[in-house]
Amino acid sequence: MRKDTIKIPEKGKTLMVAHRGVSGLECENTAAAFIAAGNRTHFGVETDIWRTIDRQFMCNHDGRTGRICDVDLVIEKSTFAQLRALTLRDTDGKSDRAEIRLATPAEYRKICEKYGKHCVPELKSNFTEDEIRQILAIFDGYLENTTFIAFNIANLDLVRNVKPDQKCQFLAGSWNDDYPQMLAERRMDLDIAWTALTEERVKACHDRGIEVNCWTVDDPEKAAMLISWGVDYITSNILE
């Protein structure tokens, strides 16, 4: 198993975000992964939030648990207690660490706040406005240090309905020439797959006052290229 992150010596103004915590070292979206980021130089820590069947919230990337656990449960069809009882696999593939469990958004927020890290929670379920209010309440008192991200822009629109000035980034897997204008109108930033970027596209966003985050960059040479283009954030499993 890898023992440490890969350091990027020259980052310029680009800030590093730990993808699902330092998921290159610890099982993703667990307290262990979040604490690993807390103990390093990352600016922010990303996670993913789902709704459970009993209307609670849990951090996990996939809609089910099978990729990181010996038991495959669908998040939105499982209770909080069922999900919390799961022991996840360590990065060596073994399920022999009893503390490696799915984390809650409240635990994630507390760890980020303790270590002074920016929260970057992805809104995965198609949430109602009431659920968005509940999630915002979890981060209340730390919202100035929180950026919500989502592929479903309706989730971000709901965030803005409740908190008009809340920082948000729209997630995208590919580029669309309409993004700079659309995001400028919404006063939102962009979080896009790094392979979809060019230096000209970064500039097009910056010209509209839109910050650019890019995922998921684990190659130091690719990170150096993106830094030279002036991206504002790099989200990575292992780079620091």
What pLDDT was estimated at residue 201?
A: 98
Q: Which of 143, 144, 151, 145 is nearest to 170 (CA)?
A: 151
Angle in degrees, CA 140, 141, 144, rounded to 5: 95
Closest CA relative to residue 151, chosen from 215, 198, 201, 92: 215
| Residue 21: C-alpha distances to residues 91, 128, 219 (Å) | 13, 26, 17
Q: Digits of tens for pLDDT over the chain (240 positions)?
A: 888 999 999 999 999 999 999 999 999 999 999 999 999 999 999 999 999 999 999 999 999 999 999 999 999 999 999 999 999 999 999 999 999 999 999 999 999 999 999 999 999 999 999 999 999 999 999 999 999 999 999 999 999 999 999 999 999 999 999 999 999 999 999 999 999 999 999 999 999 999 999 999 999 999 999 999 999 999 999 999
Is residue 152 assigned to a domain?
yes
Q: What residue numbers bound the domain in which 89 lies?
A: 15-236
Per DSSP, the three-state class of 143 is helix
Asked if 236 and 207 touch (Cβ cutoff 8 Å), the reply is no
Give the CATH number of the domain where residue 69 resides.
Answer: 3.20.20.190
The answer to whether residue 7 is domain-embedded is: no
Structural domain includes residue 10:
no
Q: CA 44, 45, 47: angle at the middle one, nearest 5?
A: 145
In a domain, 8, yes or no: no
Predicted pLDDT at 1: 81
Domain-embedded: residue 145? yes
Helix locations, 116-208, DSSP H? 129-138, 153-162, 179-186, 199-207
CA separation for the pair 119, 123 (Å, rounded): 12
Residue 59, pLDDT score: 98
Domains of the chain: total: 1
- Is residue 77 packed enough to be buried (19+ CB in 10 Å), middle (13-18) or exposed (0-12)? exposed
Q: Does residue 182 lie within any of the structural domains?
A: yes
The Cα-based distances of 56 to 50, 60, 75, 200 in angstroms read 8, 13, 10, 42
CA angle, 32 as apex, 46 and 80 as ends, to 5°? 75
What SS3 state is found at 239?
strand
